[in-house]
Structure 1
Amino acid sequence: MGRASSGLQTKPPSALRVRVERLTREVAKFGAVGGAGLLVNLLVFNLVRAVTDLPVVRASVIATVVAIVSNYLGFRYFTYRDRDKNARTREMTLFLLFSGVGLLIENGVLFAATYGFGWDSPLQNNVFKFLGIGIATLFRFWSYRTWVFRALPEPAPATVPLPEQPLAAERVSPPQRARV
């Protein structure tokens, strides 16, 4: 008992290892939702550019807003489904606030490239939109996990109650050995 099938005794993982494994899973889930959001963002951006005469940054803002909606659903119901769900109004307000900052970062990069440097070909638009998304994603990951989808408090470790100590009057002294 207490041994793995290989015959080695197993010990529980360290607290650091558990935290690293949780963070790794969280980053993977965030990346999966973010990857889907990236595809939505770029597809909507290029679709809007192809079928309308909207300026590049306006088309990008529309695409970013569509991606924000799809990302919220993915984050709430996949990445952070185990997080606190009690304050949805607060959660959505903060999500929209931080997503808005991300939108400004993302489209600020595209705006600077397009209107500041004159890089306005479809390929350049996509490259700088992608670069802006990457920079904004770093901000979003930090802000969402820190402020929006907050972790529930960890349960206190289970403690084993100590047996009650008998009262002094109830204590029995150990038997005395007879001297021979």
Structure 2
Amino acid sequence: MPGDGTVGRVPPTSSRPRGLRSRLRALAREAGKFGTVGGLAFAIDLIVFNVLLGAGSETLTAKTLSTIVATTLAFFGNRFWTWRDGAHPHMARQYTTFFVLNAIGLGIALACLAISHYGLGEIWPALQSRAADNIAGQLVGTAIGTVFRFWSYRKFVFRADARRTAGVTPSSPTLQ
């Protein structure tokens, strides 16, 4: 009420960090959560990949299947923890976009593995070993793919909800 000594309603402050330092801290927290989810998914990927190789699966098939299992875990971890405050309007569409972008990340890992195992492995047979496959596919391929995934998930899958970053929640009135 204007008569009770107040000028009017004060709009909520933006939840979006303003200074460079606070933006970097927020990005570090986000990357830390992404890294934790990714670390768990990586461990699952590594275990499933090696179990499938031990069971006689072909190298690229084993990597594809292990990535599908790890991707499912990563989707739920990222959606419900890393970017839980992001816009989540349509889970099926979000899940599909996540998997398409993850397929590109898988392609990066498979390319690294194929170049090492089938390309360079023809010249140096040591690169066709399980250890070399793990280094090429799991370490190098996953590292390059992770940079792509972090960027693409933030940009295309778990975008910030514009109302939340402006300090307006769905239940609060819009400010004009």
For residue 58 of structure 1, what is the aligned residue in structure 2?
Answer: 61
- Cα distance in structure 2, aligned partners of 1:57 and 1:68: 16
What's 1:109 paired with?
112
CA distance in 1, matches of 2:115, 2:94: 31
Residue by residue, what CA displacement relative to the aligned partner does 1:2-29 show, whole Å, maximum 9, x if unpaired?
xxxxxxxxxxx85222211110100000
> 1:5-154 to 2 correspondence within 5 Å?
15-51=19-55, 53-118=56-121, 119-129=127-137, 130-153=139-162, 154=165
TM-score (norm 1): 0.76
Question: Could you report, residue by residue, the CA deviation over 1:107-162 in whole angstroms, capped at 9, with x for unpaired residues?
Answer: 111011100011111110111112101110010000000110001121259xxxxx
* Larger RCO (CA under 8 A, 6+ residues apart): 2
Q: Distance in 2 between matches of 1:37 and 1:89?
A: 21
Gaps of 5+ in 1: 1-12, 158-180
* Deviation digits for residues 61-114 of structure 1 (CA, Å, limit 9, x no counterpart): 111111111100110111111111112232112101101101111111101110
* Amino acid of the structure 1 residue aligned with 2:142: I
Give the whole-Å Cα distance in 1 for the aligned partners of 2:112 and 2:21: 37
The one of 143, 147, 166 aligned to 1:155? 166
Any gaps of 5 or more consecutive residues in structure 2? 1-16, 122-126, 169-176
Aligned alpha-carbon RMSD (Å): 1.5
Give the TM-score normalised by structure 2: 0.77
Amino acid in structure 2 at the alignment position of 1:68: T
**2 CA distance for matches of 1:137 and 1:155?**
29
Matched residue SS, 2:128? coil
Q: What is the CA–CA distance in structure 2 between the aligned matches of 1:54 and 1:93, rounded to whole Å?
A: 27
Report the 3-state secondary structure (helix = DSSP H, G, I; strand = E; otherwise coil) of the residue aligned with 1:117: helix
Q: Distance in 1 between matches of 2:27 and 2:167?
A: 20
- In the aligned structure 2, how far is the partner of 1:75 from the partner of 1:113? 30
